[in-house]
Homo-oligomer: A and B are copies of this chain.
Amino acid sequence: MPAQDETRDRILEVTRRLVQSKGFSGFSYADVAAEVGIRKASVHHHFPTKGDLGEALMVRYRRDFGEILARIRASKGDARSRLRAYAVLFADLLRDDYRLCMCGMLAADFDVLPPSVRGEVRGFFDDNEEWLADVLASGRKQQELSFVGSPREQARVLLSALEGAMLVARSHGDVSLFEGVAQRVFHAVTAPPRRAVRAPVSLRRASRRVA
């Protein structure tokens, strides 16, 4: 990466954390500038409007998250360990001062988002559903998972449960609430014991945090 992008990336990283904490309406250019250690006008230099910043943020977040999902997908491991690794991405965010994942937060802030950011949020949800559906489909094919209906619909259930569980955990200041929900929804798609020694699903750190 060229050095000239360093400030740009620092701005985006700081913005990510601010948005995941305070939402799109709740953070300001002044907040970003103060944390990066430059003046507000300099942030505008890189991202002329808040909409530009929001869009660049989502584009980057979506790319980075997609890379992590691809790595999980490419790793050795069965469907359930992939699902666990997926949930850990969310749990890790909660462990960082109960931050909400970007799409959850921006979905809540949907009405105040510029159109281009809205499109990215939708795309991000779709990315996640597709990835989960893929994992679910292959897990079912391997008879490791069992669920009725299409993988896509089931993926949406899982994603919804995780997103909602983040809201619950965030309000109560208790990550285990999230983890409990994740365990249960994963268990619900686990095939009945054909290999009776299978351990209960548990969440362990299986992936690093979103970049």
Contacts and interface: CB of A to CB of B under 8 A. Distances in A.
Interface of A: 21-23, 25-26, 98, 100, 103-112, 118, 121-122, 125, 149, 153-154, 156-157, 159-168, 170-172, 177, 180-181, 184-185, 188
Chain A facing B: main interface SS: helix
A90 to B, nearest CB: 11
A180 B108 CA distance: 20
B160 A168 contact: yes
A177 B156 contact: yes
A170 B185 CA distance: 22
A85 to B, nearest CB: 19
A127 to B, nearest CB: 12
A67 to B, nearest CB: 22
Given A22-B25, A22-B109, A125-B171, 10 more contacts: A22-B111, A100-B108, A103-B171, A108-B167, A121-B171, A122-B171, A125-B168, A160-B167, A160-B181, A161-B161
18 contacts: A25-B25, A104-B108, A104-B164, A107-B170, A107-B171, A108-B108, A108-B167, A110-B170, A110-B171, A122-B171, A159-B164, A160-B161, A160-B162, A160-B165, A160-B181, A161-B164, A162-B164, A164-B166
Given A22-B25, A184-B153, A107 B159 contact: no
A22 to B, nearest CB: 5
